Structure 1
Amino acid sequence: MPVDPEYIEQLVLEEITGTISPEDSITLKRLLEQEPEAYAIWQRLHRQLTGAYIRSVRDNLPEDLPVEQVFATLRRRRRRKIFTGSLGVAASLLALVLVYKIMLPEHEPVLPAPIPSFALKTVALQLPGGQLLHLGSTQQQIVDGITFRETAGTLSWSGANPSQLARVIVPPGKDYTLHLPDGTEVKLNAATTIEMPLAFGRSREVTVKGEAYFQVAKNREKPFLVRLPKSTVQVLGTSFNVNTYDSSQVRVALESGAVKMRTNDGDVLLQPGKAVRYHPGTRPIAAGFDAHAVLSWKSGYYVFENTTVSEIADVIERTYRVKVILDSKATAEKTYSSRLEKGAPLEKFLERLKTLNNINYQFENGNSIVHLLYRP
């Protein structure tokens, strides 16, 4: 399909500033997946609007410019054409918004904008200076005095300080394990991002988008905090799973120990064997969960128990790096009980789905897109 560069730039700028709507976010993701020109624009803007450029704009800002004025200008700009030149007015305005949005002193660490997980083929470590280390080589790497080591799919490091932030990005079809400096182990599922300091100072805090399983090292002096969308999980030492793939809910399942989930709608204390699905705007409530189904991803497969094909499609996309299109509402609502082996060919799973549930499949665009259609 034809790509309008100005429209793509508009979406990317709104994504960076956090003003993009859910609908536009879906549109941008689809364009980045399917249109090389759109991804090239995304790369250019993210590269140009971080680091030294933002600092230079910050240095030249008038101290009395009201933040309300900046955001009012951005709102008026919405859906207008963007004229960037090399960077231009839109980029300058974006820089103003970023500066006023973060409101951070110069000494506080700031990471570059994240790279979408689907844009990577290997697990990557993004460092404060913008360096991107591709992981999986099992080789030791030294960057800015920090020694990174990989052993059997697990990354550990030494020589860092709390002012250094990092981001680990796991693409679809992969998973990865981190051994944090405090002894905590984190297993990251496909299409997951974690942000963290490379060394813990007075606190232990990380931010997760996607799915991760934590085995937290005990330290009563420093509770471990996992930041999730509109909620926080606080622990001392325990094993638990967090899942934020669905933007409308946050799921936390506790295997051992105890955790407190803090939200704007109330707090809930979880005991082993309990889980919570938090929908912003409703009070979180703990309930039992099937540990085999929820945690099976750590063992290399997914368990489906009366799971809708709509949910299964999301798992297929993350596992096989394909776009799944459901060709009818009946297809999306059909349920299925079985399992999906991460290392097995996708066709094998789809054939079983076709045999047991009468759901036909068809690949297109070099097998990067698969259509599913229920035929009674």
Structure 2
Amino acid sequence: MTSTVLIGGSCDPRFGAVRANFERNFTHDNEVGAAVAVWVDGDLVVNLWGGYADAKRRRPWRENTLASIFSGSKGLTSTCLHLLADRGEIDLQAPVAQYWPEFAQAGKSDITVAMVLGHRSGVIAPRTRLHWSEVTDWDRVCDALAASEPWWKPGTAQGYHMVAFGFVLGEVVRRVTGRTIGQYLRTEIAEPMGIDVHIGLPASEHHRCAEMINKPHIRDVLANGGAPGHPTSLDEHPMAGLSAAMGFVPDDELGSNDITTWRIAEFPGTNAHVSALGLATFYNGLAQEKVLGREQLERVRVSQGAFDPDVVLGPRVADHGWGLGYMLNQRGVAGPNLRSFGHGGSGGSYGFVDLEHRIGYGYVMNYFDATKCNADPRTTALSDEVYRVLGAL
């Protein structure tokens, strides 16, 4: 436990309790390095960072330190799809195969883009597991997904598309625009708005990356849970869905063996790197309606299946619902507005937008808590204080 920690940045005096709780995360909740940023009604009211970016506590966390947000990447990826839809370049209710004809193989011709965004397509992994050394070949991965049958009848169940989400949607973006989703994010959103978010991080920026601490390896998580090897069906074992989706987490293997290649590669569902200010500014762009129009924003947060049991994660994690690509705050685990939306990342990071209160929020850290995602106490302690100041809590 750390007795004192140097906190950098700025905080509007009205939000002093956010700073106090941010400091408390270090002294009472094992925080090593972290940052939080909050925009309210177009004003940057909180921009704090502190602690260390490495396990040896030699490299101070800075304003521009980048953290991996794992599944928080899905919020960035989903926004790219919604931007294309808002511009009339794709129809989210159209089949994926309309844009990627090869995807229609093996009973997938009727799977829509919206089904993938809502984790209801059944395409959670290829039927044959790929080796981690193969996964930087984008075409190889997409060919495997295109050739494989869905794991359940599309549209009939919900199951978290842990990694396949990014490849399927990323290939749609590539077929429509001729650009990878990382390039599209950069040229259409990040660079025009000066936002420090990345899918596919240039090697020149790797020196800014925080070292993830206490992160378990996927193979160990599966082994400890008694999961089988790559299953042949969801009926094979109670953890078959999780084993299939997590077994197709080649970026975890790649990151363990070649961190540089992993950071450079594009895994649009799982390996975005962002600063807290970048993540908050990204969601502020939604709050200010600078990225998507209001009509599209309302479509984003239409519930897809409410709290249906998740055949990959199981019902025990249903503390949120799914919109079209985002976690919906339907049970109020991330503030009082049940209509806010965003995405958490395994380990504890979280970013969200609240359209009613015009909040853009981002929290990132490097001490990994494998039991938390969008309702990590470290981040809810901060966002709750924002709402308290606004009189909403």
TM range (shorter): under 0.3
- TM-score with structure 1 setting the length: 0.23
Task: Please state which structure has a larger fraction of its residues in strand.
Answer: 1
Normalized against structure 2, the TM-score is what? 0.22
Greater CA radius of gyration, 1 or 2? 1
